[in-house]
Amino acid sequence: MARQARPAAVSDRAAVSDRAAMSGEVPVSDERHGAGAAAIGWIREVVMDCPEPWALARFWAGLLGGSPVEWYPGWVTIEPPPHGQRLSFQASASPPGTGTARIHVDVLVEDLAAAHRRVLAAGAAFTGEHVSPRPGAAGAPVSWRVYQDPAGHPFCLVIR
């Protein structure tokens, strides 16, 4: 089956987005989201929930490179991030197929309170706030907030 070519406008936007992504620039507007709409944050990492974080991290490190590193009990990350994208594994006792998410996205933000207001206004549902067992700078607690997108997919806002 032959692939259909994208319309020129879509191809042009994709090319601009690809160039921006490679240069480290973040496109801040798109006609689907309103002119001038600034990004709330960016994807910090993709997190896989699993019963054995070390085992799954070793599997993915074998495929992508890097080495599993435990940041704190129950949380293992491949370091250095393969091709710049962090992949982490979080201990979860929920078996697959129980209606719980197995993968979620962490979105890195500058201002947690402002991002919270914006994602709620965009249609997300707040489900909880947590504090990391790994302290931040000077031992300060690091909190993050959990949400569901309008289709029910979980994601977290994480302070930069």
pLDDT digits (tens, 9 = 90+) for 86-121: 899 999 877 666 666 688 888 889 999 999 999 999
| Exposure b/e, 61-89, CB count within 10 A at least 16 = b | beeeebebeeeeeebbbbbebeeeebbbb
What are 134's two structure tokens? 């790994």
Q: Is 98 within a domain?
A: yes
Provide the number of structural domains found in the chain: 1
Q: Is 102 within a domain?
A: yes
Q: Is 118 within a domain?
A: yes
Q: Is 11 within a domain?
A: no
- The percentage of the chain sitting over the pLDDT mark of 90, rounded to a whole number, equals 32
Q: What residues contact residue 78 under an 8 Å CB cut-off, 6+ apart?
A: 57, 60, 61, 64, 65, 66, 67, 68, 69, 86, 87, 88
The DSSP 8-state label assigned to residue 41 in this structure reads: -
> What pLDDT, in 10s, does the model give residues 115-143?
999 999 989 999 999 998 888 889 999 89
* Cα 76 to Cα 57: distance, rounded to the nearest angstrom: 7
Q: Is 84 within a domain?
A: yes
Q: Is 29 within a domain?
A: no
* Cα 51 to Cα 69: distance, rounded to the nearest angstrom: 17
What are 160's two structure tokens? 């930069």
Q: Is 7 within a domain?
A: no
CATH number of the domain enclosing 57: 3.10.180.10
What are 129's two structure tokens? 């706030």
Look up the domain containing 132 and give its range.
40-159
Asked whether the whole model's pTM tops 0.85, one would answer: no
Q: Is 45 within a domain?
A: yes
**Residue 58: its H or E element:** helix 53-64
